Amino acid sequence: MSCILKIREIYSELTPTEQKIADYIMEEEVEVTSLSAAELAEQVKTSPPSIVRFARKLGYGGFQEMKLALAKDAALQDKQQDKVYEAVTIHDSTKEIIYKISKENSNAIDETVSVLDEVEVAKAIEVMTKANNINIFGVGASGLVGLDLQYKLMRINKRASMYMDSHTQLSSAIHLGKGDVAVGISHSGRTLEIFKAMETAKNRGATTISITKYGKNPLMDLADINLFTASVEKNLRTGAIASRIAQLTIIDILFIGIARKNFNEISKYIQTTREIVEDFKL
């Protein structure tokens, strides 16, 4: 565990002097690394022994050991700093674009993992595995994500319908019922067509799953199960860059979760698909 975290944890049971030391370390985390026990004592207006006792209380062998732990913390923090990337500018070289875009996409994945509720994912996998019919709704970039999900499900003999236009979406939604599942994909969670189709599906008794950005929005309010993506989007205000990667990561998780449940059958299907597709290869 990180040193700072340890400090926070036992802060309340520290003596006044120790709390003063804790305050200083939490404030000046990095600087402490280059201080001696006596110097630190001077900063905090206390004595070297108190510093050593403090280090011991945190579970370290002594001040020296605590300093090493703080250095490690700082290193990881620096690493974290790499995440603070900037948007691409007109003056960026190709190299910089490659770096920034890849970072942005990586971050989208990491942050999505941190907002994704594991219980909701498990529920989604459960209902999709048991579903009679699966309907997927999405338009624009989210539509492509929906197609991806449909295509993946098809490979494991799990039929799903995916509609990108509003009329077909509503026509299809109206025939859903109990035991069916509707998946609505919309980054904003405010896409009118998707909302209407999902509303219809829900009224008909289908279980509804939303894939939207994190935060309150009409679609997640409506849906039974909510899967969130991180909402970062920095580049050129174009939208649909990092958000799509995040959505696809959720799709992958759902797919693998469903595929895993009946692994043996499924690997047979995949093998067959694979062999047939191979015939078309050079």
In whole angstroms, give the CA distance from residue 24 to residue 29. Answer: 8
Instruction: Candidates 1, 9, 10, 15: give the one binding DNA (CB under 7 A).
Output: 15
Q: Taking CB under 7 A as the rule, does residue 32 contact DNA?
A: no
**Size of interface with DNA, in residues (CB under 7 A):** 24
Residues within window 139-158 making contact with a copy of itself, judged by CB under 8 A: 140-141, 144, 147-148, 151-152, 155
Q: Are 120 and 210 in contact (CB under 8 A)?
A: no
Length of the chain (residues)? 282
Nearest distance, CB of residue 75 and DNA, angstroms = 19
Q: Taking CB under 8 A as the rule, does residue 268 contact a copy of itself?
A: no
Phi-psi region of 46 (alpha: psi -120 to 50; beta: other; left: phi over 0): beta
**Helix/strand/coil for 151:** helix
CA 7, chain centre distance (Å): 28
Closest alpha carbon to 246 in 258, 232, 222, 229: 229
- Which positions ≥6 away from 235 have C-beta within 8 Å? 87, 88, 100, 101, 104, 241, 242
Instruction: Candidates 5, 45, 95, 281: give the one binding DNA (CB under 7 A).
Output: 45
- The residue among 45 and 281 lying less far from DNA, judged by its C-beta, is 45
Instruction: Candidates 1, 10, 38, 98: give the one binding a copy of itself (CB under 8 A).
Output: 98
238 binds, among a copy of itself, DNA, none (CB under 5 to 8 A by kind): a copy of itself
In whole angstroms, give the CA distance from residue 190 to residue 11. Answer: 44
Q: Are 208 and 184 in contact (CB under 8 A)?
A: yes
Nearest distance, CB of residue 238 and a copy of itself, angstroms = 6
Residues within window 22-61 making contact with a copy of itself, judged by CB under 8 A: 33-34
Binding flags for DNA, 59-88, as an x/- string (CB under 7 A):
--xxxxx-x---------------------
Of 2-10, 56-64, 109-117, 178-186: span binding DNA (CB under 7 A): 56-64
**Helix/strand/coil for 256:** helix
- The residue among 41 and 176 lying less far from DNA, judged by its C-beta, is 41
Q: Taking CB under 7 A as the rule, does residue 16 contact DNA?
A: yes
The CA R_g of the chain, rounded to the nearest whole Å, is: 26
**Helix/strand/coil for 160:** strand
Binding interface with DNA (CB under 7 A) = 15-18, 36-39, 45-53, 55, 61-65, 67
